[in-house]
Structure 1
Amino acid sequence: MEEEKQTVMVTPGEVLGRTSEIKAGRGAYAARHNNTVYASLTGFRRTVPAAPNSPDQRPTVEVTGHKAHGPVPEPGSIVIARVTKVMARTASADIMCVGPNSVKEKFTGIIRQQDVRATEIDKVDMHLSFHPGDIVKALVLSLGDARAYLLSTAKNELGVVSAESSAGATMVPVSWTEMQCPLTGQIEQRKVAKVAS
């Protein structure tokens, strides 16, 4: 089997095949819940045949970016994102870093009300958890719909890591749910990331 010519363009979330037939390579990931391989970035689909002596004879499907691409968020990766909009049930954010590396393309993330924290989920108020401009540390759950990644801040070490107060100062976390402005002393509600001590 020859390598496919790089002509088929795919976008994030596009189905590339079933895990029973192919393996996910670079730029692709396998979803365990439905055994399907998806593209995780925009680029060209390429199939690499398995080595003749490999026990697993499934070919590997890769997606190679059409431009030099940086890291790509994948389910399970930790990302740093800037909150852009907060609504009643969701918050939107632009993903800036995957792990320690900054991204080169624009990736959007959505934090749903049920993914903000692990306890008292029904009492979560999105407007008291995040504000536009907040920098959050979050876990990528999956590639959701509308080309946005579903993010979670439901672990103690995830949540707001940096926020600006109305006075324009960088606030200091004082508890799991509060940050304080060092200039005015005013306390604001947030879903704060626990800092490793």
Structure 2
Amino acid sequence: MDEKPLICIPGHRLCLLDKTHVNGNGTYERHGYIYSNLTGVVKIITKNGVNIVEVHSIGEQTLIPTQGDVVTAQINIVTQQFCKCLIKCIGEVVLNRPYRGILRKEDVRATEKDRIEMYKCFRPGDIILARVLPITESHTYQLSTAENELGVVIAHSEAGHSMVPISWTEMQCPKTLIKQSRKVAKIVPENYNPNNND
């Protein structure tokens, strides 16, 4: 008798994570369980006595941000308490449609949280790297930039030029030399070589 394929949706708990079951493509692990990251069909691939649980998507891409993911987002609105943004990528995957994200003042930095001024950290149009926090509201993903590698990666000056980071807290327009405050992400370029004198 043919078994019907098991269809799941994002966030669907599939099984326990143990010595015989591990998570594969299209799934993630949380609190000792394997969950689906996609809408699709559950496949179990057995290799060396271990069952790899995978989810293969049906039709168009349905990847959604999950807790712990690093996402790329564009800032839309900045207030004294939070920034609203649109999540454009999860890791290196560009999304078919953006998701709404919110970055609260207390999640901007790991230290000196009470001294944070949102407008000195982000401006509308900035592109940021952020980590997804546990979901508390439906339809909005809470984000954090409270790690050195997270924060603003692309920003434009008022003159319209791409700014260059000059410290953890400032970026500068290469043409006008005007400086602006930002929560700058510490990015190590892929081709960075400390021994290269170029």
Provide TM-score, normalisation by structure 2.
0.71
Alignment of structure 1 residues 116-131 onto 2, 5 Å = 116-131=108-123
- Residues of 2 paired with 1:168 and 1:18: CA distance? 51
Partner of 1:155: 147
Task: Determine if the alignment matches structure 1 residue 78 to structure 2 residue 70.
Answer: yes
Task: Determine if the alignment matches structure 1 residue 182 to structure 2 residue 174.
Answer: yes
- Residues of 1 paired with 2:13 and 2:33: CA distance? 8
Number of corresponding residues: 187
Partner of 2:28: 29
Please state how far the C-alpha of 1:130 moved relative to its aligned partner.
Answer: 1.0
Question: Cα gap change, 1:106/1:166 in structure 2, threshold over 3 Å: closer, same or farther?
Answer: same
Alignment of structure 1 residues 12-91 onto 2, 5 Å = 12=10, 14-16=11-13, 19=16, 26-32=25-31, 38-41=35-38, 43-44=39-40, 46-48=41-43, 54=49, 60=53, 62=55, 64-67=57-60, 69=61, 72-91=64-83
Contact 1:81 1:94 in 2 (8 A): yes
Aligned residues: percent identity? 37
Contact 2:14 2:36 in 1 (8 A): no
User: 1:109 pairs with 101, 125, 130, which one?
Assistant: 101
Question: Cα gap change, 1:66/1:89 in structure 2, threshold over 3 Å: closer, same or farther?
Answer: farther
- Structure 2 unpaired stretches of 5+: 193-198
Partner of 2:196: none
Please state how far the C-alpha of 1:91 moved relative to its aligned partner.
Answer: 1.7
- Residues of 2 paired with 1:2 and 1:84: CA distance? 50
Contact 1:92 1:110 in 2 (8 A): yes
- Structure 1 unpaired stretches of 5+: none
Provide TM-score, normalisation by structure 1.
0.72
Query: Structure 1 counterpart of 2:143, which letter?
Result: L
Please state how far the C-alpha of 1:50 moved relative to its aligned partner.
Answer: 7.8
Please state how far the C-alpha of 1:192 moved relative to its aligned partner.
Answer: 0.6
Contact 1:23 1:61 in 2 (8 A): no
SS of equivalent to 1:114: helix
Query: Structure 2 counterpart of 1:106, which letter?
Result: P
Question: Cα gap change, 1:170/1:147 in structure 2, threshold over 3 Å: closer, same or farther?
Answer: same
Alpha-carbon RMSD: 3.4
Question: Cα gap change, 1:195/1:111 in structure 2, threshold over 3 Å: closer, same or farther?
Answer: same
Partner of 1:97: 89
